[in-house]
Chain A
Amino acid sequence: MTSVYIPEMARLVGVEQMTATEKLFTIELPNGRSLGHDPGQFVMASVMGVGEAPVSVSSSPSRSNGVFELCVRQVGDVTNALHGMEPGGWIGVRGPFGNGFPVEKMRGKDLLFAPGGLGLAPLRSLINQVLDERGAFGRVIILCGARRPQELLFRDEVDEWVARDDVECLVTVDRGDDTWDGHVGVITTLFHQISVNPRNTVAATVGPPIMYRFVLMELLGKGIPESQIYLSLERRMRCGVGKCGHCQIHDLCCCQEGPVLTYAQSKGVEEAL
């Protein structure tokens, strides 16, 4: 039997510095195989000799071209080692794991995406998939926040979303600077600028724990049902396959039943939010 813990070695074909602390890695699996992931799923990425860490897939399944992308913030040993790698290097990959966003349930609905900071990394996968099938969905609203202008991820793509007629994309930063002529304020300040038909809206938000508390209040305040609000939880999976116990939140195993949960599932679960 082949062990589920053995990573497959995949070639790093592109490295792009996105911000001071984030890089985008483009990875090619052997034989041009596609990762076969759903938006919101994660892989276990290894730098052999250093260790393994869970990372959300940032590219859309609809744009695989035999590669996938990981947007990685430098926060620990594995991500430090990844940041030290150059194209041509080898990354161990297991997965994809986890449940991902329920794209099927989103068809025909108005969609409200609220990424904050690094939360754009997994949501970009979903947003691009939606935009590649734009006709299958209702309104597409993106409320995007970052702490400072230079921390805004995927700037070019976000600019394209802003420019599109069929996307309502608003961007804000907590603190502006000379380079910034856009909106300044925390992400919740964007919510006043839009109105939605709550019953027909599905929301997806990903961001740091502190952001959830406020964004969720805004979404609920718009009348969007709890079961139509999706969020993704960051946990430090050690196995990715429901064994190691590290990502368990009350009775939910985050790597199997998550990382994407509805607000209905996670509310009142104090270890979740």
Chain B
Amino acid sequence: MSLMVLNKGAVGPLIEALMADYRVVGPQAKGPQFAFGTLTDPAQMRLDYNTTILPPKKVLQPQQERLASYSLGGKPSVEQIIEATPTVLFGIHTCDLHAVQLLDKAFSEEYPDAHYLARRDQTILVSLECLEPCDEHSFCKSMGTLTAGEGYDLHLTDLGLAYAVDVATEAGAQILSDYGSASEAGDGDVRRLNDVLGAKWPRFTYRLEFDAAELPALLSTAYDHPLWQELGDRCLACGSCTNVCPTCYCFNVYDETNMALTEGERVRRWDSCQLDEFARVAGGENFREARAARQRHRFMRKGRYIFEKFGELGCVGCGRCIRACVADINIVDGFNAIQRSA
């Protein structure tokens, strides 16, 4: 829609003003690392963060949420619960933004998920252009996610003293004008933006040794690859790789009741295909019992299955699964190994 400029000194007041009417979620320090959290003070926001432990997915699909409440005894009356609140999700990197677009597809197709979509509908996305890779594990350049042309309401690029703000939606324009003090970008700002974007590109490296577009075809012939057993031997099946993944959305559903058994709630929680019981059926049979098969399933989902379903790869190159794995399982190395032996 338009390109605006927001002085860095105006970011704090913008956040402060937004906080009056919105839950504002942004990156904050957590020990030596970072995590997205609800801001109670604009000074908590750390736009200089590298990556967060969990992706901002948790704002749209919380670790646990209530789906319904009900009364028990006689005919149960079931009330649906939609946990949604007007939210500004501030400062998400473009890898995570791509992941949100994938989640949007997953939760809208065929049977729309009212819970996710209500939250998504009430969330304004303010993304942030990365000018440096988070660390050696980022492979966003390989996955084509180190920038984004769409999917955000506002997109910030650090120009030094100010942010260039790409205003992409009505909602974005409105919060900027109602709560902030941005000005139209001038020619100098546009030139500076071009310089900044041009300079960032070489700082990122391709880490896949081949074009990511080849992944689905490559993996379709890799079911019997020896890599899976090797990973299965090392994998602890702790589920961390999927829990930190911005595009994993599997869940389990539980019923919880009060002690008097007069009322209860149905809740859902994140689940992981890496866990032992994930594919177990009522008769006790487990269709993906071996850790090797479970790791294969993860690689396949990221590199092939999600692509077949939604036309986009299920991996955005954020590198979180690599950082989170205490056994050093590395999806980039895995993909490269498969490609080398193909």
A and B in direct contact, judged by CB atoms within 8 A = yes
Closest residue to B106 on the A side, CB-wise?
A: A243
CA distance A209 to B283 in the complex (A): 10
- Using Cβ atoms and an 8 Å threshold, which residues of chain B touch A236? 279-282
Query: Which residues of B sit under 8 angstroms from A270, Cβ to Cβ?
Result: 223, 293
**Least Cβ–Cβ distance between B53 and chain A, in angstroms:** 22
Q: Is the CB of B308 closer than 8 A to any CB of chain A?
A: yes
Given contacts A4-B112, A4-B113, A245-B273, 12 further A-B contacts (CB under 8 A): A5-B67, A49-B264, A52-B266, A90-B74, A92-B78, A235-B281, A239-B253, A243-B249, A244-B268, A248-B305, A251-B300, A271-B288
- Please tell me which stretch of B16-24, B185-193, B254-262, B332-340 contacts chain A, meaning at least 4 of its Cβ atoms lie within 8 angstroms of it: B254-262
List residues of chain A with CB within 8 A of the CB of B74.
90
Chain B residue contacts of A209, Cβ below 8 A = 285
Contact yes or no, B300 A3, CB < 8 A: no
CB 8 Å contact bits of B278-294 with A (1 = contact, 0 = none)? 11111111011000010
Smallest beta-carbon distance A230→chain B, Å: 19
Task: Compute how far the CA of A271 lies from the CA of B288 in the bound complex, rounded to whole angstroms.
Answer: 6
Taking CB atoms and an 8 Å cut-off, the chain A residues in 155-201 that contact chain B are none
User: Is B255's CB under 8 angstroms from A48's CB?
Assistant: yes
What is the CB-to-nearest-CB distance from A78 to chain B, in angstroms, rounded to a whole number?
A: 9
CA distance A52 to B67 in the complex (A): 13
Q: Is A225 part of the contact surface with B, judged by Cβ < 8 Å?
A: no
Min C-beta distance of B24 to chain A, whole Å: 25
Shortest Cβ distance from A118 into B: residue: B283
Chain A residues 5-28 with CB under 8 Å of chain B are: 5-7, 9
Which A residues are CB-close (under 8 A) to B264?
A: 48-49
Given contacts A49-B261, A245-B271, contact A271 B287 (CB under 8 A): yes
Task: Tell whether, in the assembled complex, residue A251 and residue B114 are in contact, meaning their CB atoms are under 8 Å apart.
Answer: no
Q: Is the CB of A4 within 8 A of B251?
A: no
Most-contacted residue by chain B among A7, A49, A250 (CB, 10 A): A49
When distances are taken between beta carbons in the complex, the residues of chain B under 8 Å from A253 are: 309
Distance to closest chain A CB from B8 (angstroms): 40
Distance in angstroms between the alpha carbons of A241 and B106 in the assembled complex: 11
Complex: chain B residue closest to A97, CB-CB? B111
Is the beta-carbon distance between A75 and B283 smaller than 8 angstroms? Answer: yes
- Interface residues in B68-87 by Cβ distance below 8 A to A read 68, 70, 72, 74-78, 80, 82
Chain B CB within 8 A of A129 CB: no
In Å, the complex CA distance between A27 and B283 comes to: 24
Say whether A6 contacts B305, CB under 8 Å.
no
A221-265 vs B: 1/0 string, CB under 8 Å? Answer: 000000000000011101101111110111101001000000000
Partner of B253, one of A51, A76, A234: A51
Say whether A51 contacts B287, CB under 8 Å: no
Are the CB atoms of B281 and A234 closer together than 8 Å? yes
The answer to whether B115 touches A3, judged by C-beta atoms less than 8 angstroms apart, is: yes
Complex contacts, A52 vs chain B, CB 8 Å: 253, 255, 266
| B110 interfacial by beta-carbon distance below 8 Å | yes
A6's partner among B68, B223, B251, B255 (CB-CB below 8 A) is B68
Bound Cα distance from A51 to B253, whole angstroms: 8
> Is B250 among interface residues, defined by CB-CB distance under 8 A?
yes
For the complex, is B107 an interface residue (Cβ under 8 Å from A)?
A: yes
Contact check, A238 vs B293: say whether CB atoms are below 8 A apart.
no
Residues of A near B273 (CB, < 8 A) are 245, 248
Chain A neighbourhood of B70, CB < 8 A: 48-49
Q: Judge whether A53 is part of the interface by a CB distance below 8 angstroms.
A: yes
Residues of A contacting B309 with CB < 8 Å?
251, 253
Q: Complex formed: what's the CA distance from A243 to B112 in Å?
A: 10
Closest to A5 in B: B67
Cβ B114 vs Cβ A3 within 8 A = yes
Q: Are A246 and B112 in contact (CB under 8 A)?
A: no
Interface centre among B106, B112, B308 (most CB of A within 10 A): B112
A208→B283 contact, CB < 8 A: yes
Cα of A7 to Cα of B82 in the assembled complex, Å: 15
| Complex interface: chain A residues within 8 A of B110 (CB) | 241-242, 256
Closest chain A CB from B89 CB (angstroms): 21
Contact B282 A76 (CB under 8 A): yes
A88 to B112 Cα, complex, angstroms? 32
CB pair A238 B78 closer than 8 Å: no
- Is there an interface contact between A9 and B78, defined as CB atoms closer than 8 Å? yes
C-alpha spacing A9/B280, complex, angstroms: 28
Interface residues of A in 199-222 (CB under 8 A from B): 208-209
Provide the residues of chain A in CB contact with B251, threshold 8 Å.
Answer: 238-239, 243-245
Q: Does B93 contact A (CB under 8 A)?
A: no
